[in-house]
Structure 1
């Protein structure tokens, strides 16, 4: 079997698509995991809590 440029491009496109789809599913599950809600809320509000006033 000869490895050609077209073969490599086709494999990269196919496996790259499945890799990104799997990565998207894992990140989405992580983001909506119920026990991580407090951590995300704390991170979202931490920038607002640390403000003392306008910068001079």
Structure 2
């Protein structure tokens, strides 16, 4: 394989992993944020409502 391909594959593997870890941490912080608890509790009760 060419050196360019190997370089790009290594770059994608390294920074792709860093990107997805960063996205995971942002989503985790959003989901566990205490300020969003009311909204998530209301969404959890929505299927049980009789409206």
TM-score normalised by structure 2 residue count: 0.86
- Runs (4 or more) in structure 1 with deviation over 3 Å come to none
Which has the larger helix fraction? Answer: 2
TM-score normalised by structure 1 residue count: 0.79
Larger radius of gyration: 1
| Residue aligned with 1:4, SS | helix
Equivalences for residues 5-20 of structure 1 within 5 A = 5-20=5-20
Give the gaps of 5 or more residues in structure 2.
none
Task: Provide the aligned length of Structure 1 versus Structure 2.
Answer: 49
Partner of 2:46: 46
Give the gaps of 5 or more residues in structure 1.
52-56
Equivalences for residues 18-33 of structure 1 within 5 A = 18-33=18-33
Tell me the C-alpha RMSD between the 2 structures.
1.4
